[in-house]
Chains A and B, each alone.
Chain A
């Protein structure tokens, strides 16, 4: 269910996917989102500093909010809280984020008829 992954009401202003121009704009922001957040999660996995992880999580949370990815936003909020407490985030948590990103990418690809990988 895309509604669980993405707040569609929030995404309307990002691009009207029924027009060519709007669709281009919509794809541009989601491509940037997937590229950027995937790289951010990879950097977080490698980071030994909880301060860095906290900063990465905060940025990814903001980006997720802008595109209406509510579940991912909540997950990055969880990571930020964990890092703020000075604790290290487990690999399972990052695996879950990667699964959420893959699911959202897959769902949007099918819905828009393009390959967002």
Chain B
């Protein structure tokens, strides 16, 4: 199998409703000769229409867009047998969404806080036929896809937790009380409680002790 010639140019469509993301992607890829941005749009309907009419090689697709979500666009592209390769851009993504995105035919997911550092590498990986899943191991995903029941399991590698939630898990492991955590992160105690509710929900744990043991066992936030 040969790698693409440097002269190859991949045509890219950027679909994201936030202008900052579109500008960022445009600026980053402008420095990479093998990628040429052929279109930009800010809603899902336009993304679908432009993929079908302009046939780009690569679609950079936001998940949360007006008119049609990224998931709905992926579903429609699948029904249309579109050959475009898709890299999903997401602010955060949980394991269930990750599986759904991959099952709908996307070739990878890039978190937005990794766009500046990883976009070029991720685009190259996808265009060479590989999948880009950031820090999530391919084995974990493949196992979960083979076992739909796995969708219900707590996420052992913690990738569904946001950076802030990982900070809170770390503080729980350190034995800090909510008030301490709030002071350390300069947020309110109520906000800590809200994050903890979401963390318990995502991990399936029901107490701080369980959460701390789970975090230590799986190396989350430690």
Residues of A within 8 A of B (CB): 9-15, 25, 28-29, 32-33, 36-37, 55, 58-59, 61-68, 70, 73-74, 77-78, 81-82, 84-85, 87, 93
A94 vs B172: C-alpha distance when bound (angstroms): 27
Report B92-136 CB contacts with A as 1/0, cut-off 8 Å.
Answer: 100000000000000000011111110110000000000000000
The answer on a CB contact under 8 Å between B30 and A61 is: no
Complex partner residue of B194 from A12, A55, A66, A82, CB under 8 angstroms: A82
- How many whole Å from A43's CB to the nearest CB in chain B? 14
- How many whole Å from B129's CB to the nearest CB in chain A? 24
The answer on a CB contact under 8 Å between B116 and A14 is: yes
Whether, in the assembled complex, B138 has its beta carbon less than 8 Å from a beta carbon of chain A, the answer is no
Residues of B within 8 A of A (CB): 17-21, 23-24, 27-28, 30-31, 62, 64, 89-92, 111-117, 119-120, 162-165, 167, 185, 187-188, 190-191, 194-195, 197-198
Question: 5 tightest CB-CB pairs across the interface, nearest first?
Answer: A65-B113, A62-B91, A65-B112, A63-B20, A62-B112
Interface of B is mostly: helix
Interface of A is mostly: helix
